[in-house]
Structure 1
Amino acid sequence: MAQARELYEDATRLHDAARALLADHARALEAVRAAHAPLRDASVAEELASLPLGRLKDVTEGRLRLAAVQAAGFTSVGEVHEASRHRLRQIPGVGAQTADQALAAARQLARAVGETVSVRIDVDRPEPRTTALVTALYRLVEAGPDLTRAVQTAERYEKSLDELLPAARPATGRLRLAFTGRHRRDAARAALAGLRELTARAAEADVPLRLAQATADLLREPASEIEPWVDFEVRSAEYYSRLAEICAQPTDLAAAEGFVPSEVAERVHAQPLDDTHRRVSLRGYQAFGARFALAQRRVVLGDEMGLGKTVQAIAALAHLAAEGHTHFLVVCPAGVLINWTREIGARSTLRALPVHGPDRRDAYAEWRERGGVAVTTFDVLHTLPDGDGDGDGDGDGDGGPPPGMLVVDEAHYVKNPDTRRARSVAVWTARCDRVLFLTGTPMENRVEEFRALVRHLRPRLVAELGERPGTAGPHAFRRAVAPAYLRRNQKDVLAELPGLIQVDAWEELSAADRDAYRAAVAAGNFMAMRRAAYADPETSAKLRRLRELVAEAAANGLKAVVFSYFRDVLTVVREALGDDGSGPVFGPLSGGVPAARRQRLVDDFTAAGGHAVLLCQIEAGGVGLNLQAASVVVLCEPQIKPTLEHQAVARAHRMGQVRAVQVHRLLAADSVDERLLHILRNKNRLFDAYARRSDTAEASPDAVDVSDDGLARRIIEEEQTRLALRPRDAPEPSHRL
């Protein structure tokens, strides 16, 4: 009996832990709803105040007489909505029926507005109500994706223990068991066995520890009032994602689902999406995109830049991994191979193996043996064994079983079927049951390219589209290609987001750039180290990625601004962009350009129709200019002073910006960029953020940033040690050109 009592007590403690987590989670959700409600009500009131009084007639189909109400000084729907029945009846000429009808119409409009209004969190103007909401969300976001799984686990254990504990109680004492009927004794012993199995399974999976950790995370208070705001700046998308889940933030469902026909949408909704191997929450449209890829099996995901196509692909891979698939293949341009590898590791529990460089054969063999996500490039793909028996490149044909899913990023690279990369992709798409093409190019504007892409996936659909499927207009085109194509635009699905999407784009130094970098390290030349990634424009990985970003911006009709600390880097960029002819390139706008000339450059850039590029030296373009015409910002290298980046991005991300701003920071792996970010990340970010908001910081960035000389010296010494380079006699690091 002692063992039975001990087992019962263990199960009771597990039950209490599960209930405690669920209660704390419920309180955390309620705190978000309570903080959200007054902000939502204020937004509704603001919207109603902007509606003219005459809109009440629209609701009542013109039957409502408002002359007397208007004569009394009422001008908006909001004023009527806030008035009482008694107040309206005091107006001469307004009877009980008119007052009731006016109030009913105002309330109907308020409900309609409430279904569409979104709460926006203004990080530049924090006030008590928004601080309360950000703080309430902070606990849930900071707890991370493990919280959701912990809550689901707690729900399962609570439900099982609610049944087993009462049934097993008679078996915990001899006297209690003796006075229990035979049927209940048998049930008690069976329940006790169930508790034994349940607690053993929980102990093996560390469930008590996971529940306790999740509870602690939910109860942890922020170190200061500003900490949630700092975190919100870093990952606002996660905050808005949680807010949408908890408070049902309104979205245009048809737009979020790419306006696909109802029969396709129903099939996608029926597709489950397992999050066991996923480490990130998805927004509603992203979950739909991942489900679309799984349900439709062979598709093109053509979302606009900045909507998270990579995350949606990873979510699909994670689901397939949960179903038992072990091998996946991602093909991408060389410039984003590092990004894919890092994103897979950060967003999922899947194992990413770069199949690239001189060791690609060994990496491929390891992938075939152990599984995971092989990430390779278009140029390497043709050299891999394709398993079709004849080999597509110099492989031996022993490709093994096909991957559970093939993902092709920047799929417009294979639009020309006569190229080697297109032929290699065609071989692999023929092998795989599930294929996901990713591209930000709007296909309804390039129908022939779409036909070339979809031919890889669904040849029959190409025949069904006919010769000129785009002549009927974009809506008809989307319906025709709906089985294989999904596209969403930022303005349709990110209505409540403050327009800032930040992406770190990691690249590998080319051989020439690596030689230039090593020479700069050996010479102790910090500034040469920072711009070594552009030493050879012909092979520069950063420059290649920059051109891809600008080309994608051009395809979507977006303006871009490119920042660098170095004038010679901007000169290289201008020469590289001048060749593509996608749009005008203005600048460089540098410190030597007179103020009036600077403004003319910005005005010309703003006035240019469609896509254009403005080149800015970051110290000149980061202060005093409004660049809200730009919705794509590219930072050629990380800055020593974080405030420089903050101020530069703020030139575009400011009042008057009508689109979300995408910020792409180009970074070179295994270089000064990585060391610089690591050191700056370890600074006290709370103080840094607080100082950035102060008048002193805006006037003098030097007041809060780390010492240039000390930072440069430290990085040089560490890089010389890492690369085993003997430092030569050299002057102190220079920070100016």
Structure 2
Amino acid sequence: MPTTAPARRKKTSRRDDEAPLIPILARKVREIEAKSQRGKLGPTNRVKFQVIAFLVREERARVKADATIADAARAELLKRLDGVATILAKTAARDTSLIQLLEADQATSPVAKRMRRDWLLESGAELAPEELIITDIAPVAAPVVPAAIAERQVIPPSIEARQLANPFLAPDLTPRATSTPRRRLDGWELMSPLYKAFETGAGGAAASMELPPVPEYDHISPKGLEVMVHQSRFLESVRAGHRTFLLADEPGLGKTAQSVLAASVANAYPLLVVVPNVVKMNWAREVERWTPQRRATVIQGDGDDIDAFADVFIVNYEILDRHLSWLSAIGLRGMVVDEAHFIKNLSSQRSQNVLALASRVRESTPGGNPLLMALTGTPLINDVEDFDAIWRFLGWTTGDKPAPKLMEKLDATGLTPADKAFYPEARDAVISMGIVRRKKKDVAADLPDKLIADLPVQLDDEFGRSIRQAERELGERLAAKYRRIIDARGDRGLAPGEIDDDIVRLVALNELEESKAAGTGGDNVFTMVRKIGQAKAQLAADYAVQLQRSVGKVVFFAKHIDVMDQAEAHFAASGIRAVSIRGDQSTTVRQQAIDDFNGDPAVGIAVCSLTAAGVGLNLQAASNVVLAELSWTAAEQTQAIDRVHRIGQDEPVTAWRIIAAHTIDTKIAELIDQKQGLAARALDGETLDVVAGEPVQLAALMHLLRQALGADA
């Protein structure tokens, strides 16, 4: 749809009259620079980066060709443009995926064209009519099954029987809008302001939509069960007709039960539930428990033994790709994505599969209003743009701009991103689309406290000394690279002892990329942390044994299999029966281990993988957690602890983090704690400072380098 921006009169009240666009570009590039320092740029800021790059080229060509500009003024303007270009280059050095964007010589997408137009108008430029009117590209419906995975599609025999039994889906007779009305905000770039509204915590309140009051009677729960107050209010919203939700309750507040009952209230069957492999069986149990009148089937492998006539289909992310064809054709009326932060990487096939299927569900549901739910207690990992994929899944945005319903809400504010009051209003508008966020302390007052206690341990043996030596050698190797770069370019005015943070980041980023490519070969940040885990394994296992003997059941988390193996051997030698929950187990074996831990008094310890058992499990038979190894993200640590600290827990929960003193382990623990501020500000309305959003691995390497240079104690 074409959008037009009004022409503006040229500004003449500043010393930048000869090139009024340059200060605008300088401001925009500083915003991009600040954003990149907190992690990789998201889609919107990548477009902004690209637009700055080709406007710099356009402006440089204009300045060179303008004969009315004096030579001295021209030299000054070109110097300032070079400054903007230098910042672009430094930003691209931090995130090498931006380098290709520097090569673009024109605005191609409607979003890029609007940015270019708006900035030029802000500078007072006079644009041709064809530049004022921006026409959206008509969306092309992408196939649910990409050609690359078409040959992997399977159709279970029982599905063919279902399709033969009812070959026709119910026709959708809902009137469709023939055109989208023009809105006042159509000409504005809105995604960056929406992210900014959450990043700054605009408005200050918790990010949770207004929910109806608790109904007088519970007409939902099956006999013998009762929903909690916060769950009941959520379900009343579904009963009132709301159909898209980011259910972001803190882990342990019963999101699975709420989703199962929401499907029943909305009659959203057939329902597809996409989950991590570890919780497939638990979802089937919850469907049977809360909606016994409905049948659930778990899709394993090629789905040869599924119940094609079931109401609820449960599939894990890893095998969804081979079932896209038949799932898109059976008339799904609802879709739930559990641990929705798993789809935050839009370039992954996993995310693309989920988004394509959700789009198909919207298209095929009568009225175009299916039940779509994204469940995650930790929607933000590194940056507010982690919301992007979830908002797309729910149909709130297209990635480039808000979808019509959200646009209508934003338009109704009567404000634009140029107004400071727009940001709290915009945040509220997104929240009203269906963000539901409740904290344990607010809705489960009877839930016991949670404490994270650090236990520093000394690695005094030869292994520990070799780890500290390897850390020093890695720091010195990084420092040598830093010094070579400084020597090659000159100090450029650095004071004695001053460190160039841009070069520190560049060296650390290069080391991180090389480490990822090298895997476990040689000494790098990943092998270092693994060695620390191995060195701590016996000490952590011994502490878990002492805990188990004094307080009862204990959950022991580790990241690496060899650490788990060492711990299990120590528990067996100590006469303690333990169960193991790992990623390579079958669903049945894993569920049996969970049941044994929760139900068998003879089982004292559950040894769990941080990645495979950190989501969706109920292990509240224990109230003590031992974290033998640290995670790379705050969210992963929180999820692990909340396997125990959840509804049904009646004891105070303590998580014991085993930290290797005088090693990089200590810095990683500090960085993880600092990361907690992002969700607190964006979702919970707290006014906490949020530290730079770079990955913990990168921040840890930068710390080692600064330490080697004598900057960090």
Normalised-by-shorter TM-score class: 0.3 to 0.5
TM-score by length of 2: 0.34
| Structure with the greater alpha carbon radius of gyration | 1
TM-score by length of 1: 0.33
Which structure shows the higher helix fraction? 1
- Which protein has greater RCO, CA pairs closer than 8 Å, 6+ apart? 2
